[in-house]
A and B are shown apart, each in its own frame.
Chain A
């Protein structure tokens, strides 16, 4: 996913010389295509995320479209106030890019697990929050954000994600994408956990269920219309995210559903159950440990219908 992002951004940056990438001394190998092909639009700001982010705001206020790049929680939590005060409050054209949302850096430990980022960033006014599900969405999100005026957060997986969508028509910030039609159960997926959701969908289909599946590449602004339509038609809405179950994507969907006058669907939020990932292991292992792998998703959906 990160390679897709970089490849897309290189193409965009060649067209638009105002696009800049500022990294917090990360991206070895990954950002190489960018600094080789667009050396004048690339800056390493060192291991100093607060400065990187406020610097990006200053550059943006001088006309640049700046992508800040780091991994895990470093581009967000470490410099949250710079995002809030310097970027978002000034409508600065800064796109904060996190590589390794969720458990992507699993074995590295809790410090590298971005599992509250969506909730925290979503709470900031005037910040668009995006978490692409696969390589196609990553490409579309990157293009859309390069055009978008203002501050945004892009949460990417690390690598090894698949291209699940065959083609995305009319991609828009703030619009969910319907992947499968279905009945009774609708699964809403945000971010790279879409791998597990796709596997769970296949298992459920084999067992005779026909759940609908939607991806939400944009978590803020949330696609209220799709949530409302689905909540009126289906019995169960399931949100799945590689993130704390508090305040993130499931929280955003819950806010919409809670305010509906009439709806049919109940809500089941699947995510990390309000804890830190202290277990050590691969992303797949941690997803199993914290209950957001294919089998647990299937089991919890079956228990809820």
Chain B
């Protein structure tokens, strides 16, 4: 592995900005929130062989929140499953890189895109390994928090505990937002960790954008694997849009792609300010020396999709999270407490 997790995470973010910029593709916010989880898994946790994608002993990986597919594509390319050049074909005619994860790519175990499937399939893989007495590999699955609205997730959660699938590790990318609003303004999800605990799972709650915390959590799961009979879920509190300040915690960037001009320039310039040593930006090696700046009236948050009130007549009793308009600082209180 030629990258450490910080380097890989940065590359995933840089590729994702380029891929969504070129393709007009959605979900940059979700890709940025999950990038650190994916990077740590591929850099330091999972066993796989890029030259032998179907290696029987590989750890299985399912990105159940398939809309963040670009994060996996970037990771797979950077660790050697296919050339990074191909990333630029994302969404394009004839490409293998659909917006949602496709198993037609080497290194992908399951196509996803419809939420609520991945945990069940992961259970099937883990259960089959258990039946065969095969301890050579584990099964990792990353879910979204909005995805936990899906009832099928909880069907699978029941199964995994009942059948004691301690070879299964789920990670919930808990960025506290979903398609139209904060989780808590949509269907109250907290206490999410308590829900999983009530379903019989080991629950670890961490800051999911913090590599040290991620490494520690995965190390703990591995160390305790033989002592526990339970499956483990890591509730990874993340920030949607993490790494690009104007995309953070703004539901607009669930859908919007970085357009030409200040949006693209601003995102790239910000990423360059955080660039770890030892990596090269394949698209703009020197960053954007003179980025276009937003002008008055270009407020990226001045949009009808702004997180606070998707619906202007939102019934007050249903609103559980108040975010300051245009602040970009609307970190969910639960995230702050837990992290």
Contact, CB under 8 Å: A62 / B155: no
Residues of chain A with a CB closer than 8 A to B114's CB: 81, 85
Residues of chain B with a CB closer than 8 A to A40's CB: 131
Q: Give chain B's interface secondary structure class.
A: helix
- A50 to B119, alpha carbons, bound, how many Å? 11
Q: Does B156 contact A (CB under 8 A)?
A: yes
Given A45-B159, A55-B159, A90-B110, verify A50-B124 contact (CB < 8 Å): no
Residues of chain B with a CB closer than 8 A to A58's CB: 110, 120-128
A113-132 to B contact mask, C-beta < 8 Å, 1/0: 00000000000000000000
Residues of chain A with a CB closer than 8 A to B158's CB: 46, 48, 51
Contact size range, B? 20 to 34
Residues of chain A with a CB closer than 8 A to B121's CB: 54-55, 57-58, 61, 86
Q: Does A182 contact B (CB under 8 A)?
A: no
Residues of chain B with a CB closer than 8 A to A89's CB: 111
Q: Does B25 contact A (CB under 8 A)?
A: no
Contact, CB under 8 Å: B111 / A46: no
- A238 to B104, alpha carbons, bound, how many Å? 43
Contact, CB under 8 Å: A61 / B110: yes
- Nearest-neighbour CB distance to chain A for B176, whole angstroms, equals 26
Contact, CB under 8 Å: B122 / A51: no
- A45 to B127, alpha carbons, bound, how many Å? 11
Q: Does B152 contact A (CB under 8 A)?
A: yes
Contact, CB under 8 Å: A54 / B152: yes
Q: Does B151 contact A (CB under 8 A)?
A: yes
Q: Does A159 contact B (CB under 8 A)?
A: no
B68-111 to A contact mask, C-beta < 8 Å, 1/0: 00000000000000000000000000000000000100000111
Q: Which of A46, A48, A56, A85 contacts B124 (CB 8 A)?
A: A56
Q: Does B129 contact A (CB under 8 A)?
A: yes
- Nearest-neighbour CB distance to chain A for B116, whole angstroms, equals 7
- Nearest-neighbour CB distance to chain A for B195, whole angstroms, equals 17
* Residue of A43, A51, A59, A86 with highest tally of chain B CB at under 10 A: A51
Contact, CB under 8 Å: A50 / B116: yes
- A63 to B54, alpha carbons, bound, how many Å? 12
Q: Which of A59, A61, A62, A86 contacts B117 (CB 8 A)?
A: A86
Q: Which of B111, B124, B131, B151 contacts A54 (CB 8 A)?
A: B124
Residues of chain A with a CB closer than 8 A to B159's CB: 45-46, 48, 51, 55
Residues of chain A with a CB closer than 8 A to B162's CB: 46
Contact, CB under 8 Å: B111 / A59: no
* Residue of A40, A43, A50, A57 with highest tally of chain B CB at under 10 A: A50
Q: Does A64 contact B (CB under 8 A)?
A: yes
* Residue of B116, B117, B121, B155 with highest tally of chain A CB at under 10 A: B121
Q: Does A190 contact B (CB under 8 A)?
A: no
Q: Does A60 contact B (CB under 8 A)?
A: yes
Residues of chain A with a CB closer than 8 A to B129's CB: 62
- Nearest-neighbour CB distance to chain A for B132, whole angstroms, equals 8
Q: Does A73 contact B (CB under 8 A)?
A: no
- A132 to B276, alpha carbons, bound, how many Å? 64
Given A45-B159, A85-B111, verify A54-B117 contact (CB < 8 Å): yes
Q: List 18 A-B contacts (CB under 8 A).
A: A45-B159, A46-B158, A48-B152, A50-B151, A50-B155, A51-B159, A54-B120, A55-B124, A55-B127, A58-B120, A58-B122, A58-B126, A59-B128, A61-B124, A62-B132, A85-B117, A86-B121, A90-B110
Which A residues are within 8 Å of any B CB, using their own CB? 20, 40, 43, 45-46, 48, 50-51, 53-64, 81-82, 85-86, 89-90
The 3 A-B residue pairs with the shortest CB-CB distance, nearest first, are A58-B124, A54-B120, A62-B128
